[in-house]
Structure 1
Amino acid sequence: MFMAFQIHFVLLISRQGKVRLTKWYSPYSQKERSKVIRELSGVILSRGPKLCNFVEWRGLKVVYKSYASLYFCMCIDADDNELEVLEIIHHFVEILDRYFGSVRL
């Protein structure tokens, strides 16, 4: 059964904190976008590798997964299914790997 959920934004961040891709599905001003990126980069990059891949943030939930030197992050509603979003991230990375090659080094 397919479950619908709301993706607010997608971020790809390098281990050095550089933003590689953003896609916004909810309205954020440029100032808010910069603040979101700064906040989440700090939170996600400082987390240990053995911690779970979900972060509660501003009443929402951020699901992230590290592949190679990038963190793939998706912000969803607090009551949405995190595991489904992890599967979506993994599927996205597999597609990138097939298209570009060597995405998951």
Structure 2
Amino acid sequence: MIKSVLIFNNHGKPRITKFYQQIDIGTQQALLQEIYSLVSKRPDTACNFLEGSQMLGGKDTRVIYRHYATLYFVFVVDESESELGILDLIQVLETNISEIVSAYNEANKLKKRSGTIATISTSGASAVARDMGAHFASTVTSTLQSTLQTTVTHSTTVKFITVS
């Protein structure tokens, strides 16, 4: 049975923690510090399996971890779990998290690139139209629309609001 899943950085700062047993916050912090001190001192060539201490639940508890770049992925399990199976699970978890973060970052870059131009120009058109009055509103909006069509990529949808 998996007792907890922990992901923390090289400095011991937790990034993701999930405990599958009811544990108070103070004990969780102590567990994180103990596991970090055990795992961070070991070289990368050492075995990825550790026997649990009294705080973790005794001899029947194991700590299985993997170090990737700046993150430690740690599973605290009981003796019924397969160590190699948990290492495979850690690999799958790391791969999926990496793909999700990459896709999110790529979408964020595209959103910032196209959204900034459209947002600024659209709000600028509305402000100019309000200042100049209703007579020039359609002229200003159509001019800015044609300018934006040349600067915004074809995959971006821009919505204009005409102020009258």
Q: Which residue of 2 aligns with 1:41?
A: 36
Q: Distance in 1 between matches of 2:22 and 2:95?
A: 29
* One-letter code aligned to 2:45: K
The question of whether the paired residues in 2 share the 8 Å contact of 1:62 and 1:75 is answered with yes
Q: Which residue of 2 aligns with 1:87?
A: 88
**Per-residue deviation, 1:50:** 1.2
Q: Distance in 2 between matches of 1:91 and 1:99?
A: 12
Structure 2 alignment gaps of length 5 or more: 54-58, 104-164
Q: Distance in 2 between matches of 1:98 and 1:43?
A: 29
Matches within 5 A, 1:48-87: 48-58=43-53, 59=59, 60-87=61-88
Greater percentage in helix: 2
The question of whether the paired residues in 1 share the 8 Å contact of 2:44 and 2:67 is answered with no
* One-letter code aligned to 1:23: K
Greater percentage in strand: 1
**Per-residue deviation, 1:25:** 0.5
- Matched residue SS, 1:63: strand
Normalised by the length of structure 1, the TM-score is: 0.86
Q: Spell out, residue by residue over 1:10-67, the C-alpha distance to the aligned partner (whole angstroms, 9 max, x if none).
A: 1111111111110111121111111101110100001111110011113210100011
Q: Distance in 1 between matches of 2:26 and 2:79?
A: 23
Alpha-carbon RMSD? 1.4
- Detail structure 1 runs of 4+ shifted over 4 Å in the superposition: none
Q: Distance in 2 between matches of 1:32 and 1:17?
A: 16
Determine which structure has more spread, i.e. the larger CA radius of gyration: 2
* One-letter code aligned to 1:16: H
Structure 1 alignment gaps of length 5 or more: 1-5
Q: Distance in 2 between matches of 1:53 and 1:74?
A: 11
Corresponding residue pairs, total: 97
Q: Distance in 1 between matches of 2:7 and 2:71?
A: 6
Q: Which residue of 2 aligns with 1:98?
A: 99
Q: Which has the higher contact order (CA 8 A, sep 6+)?
A: 1
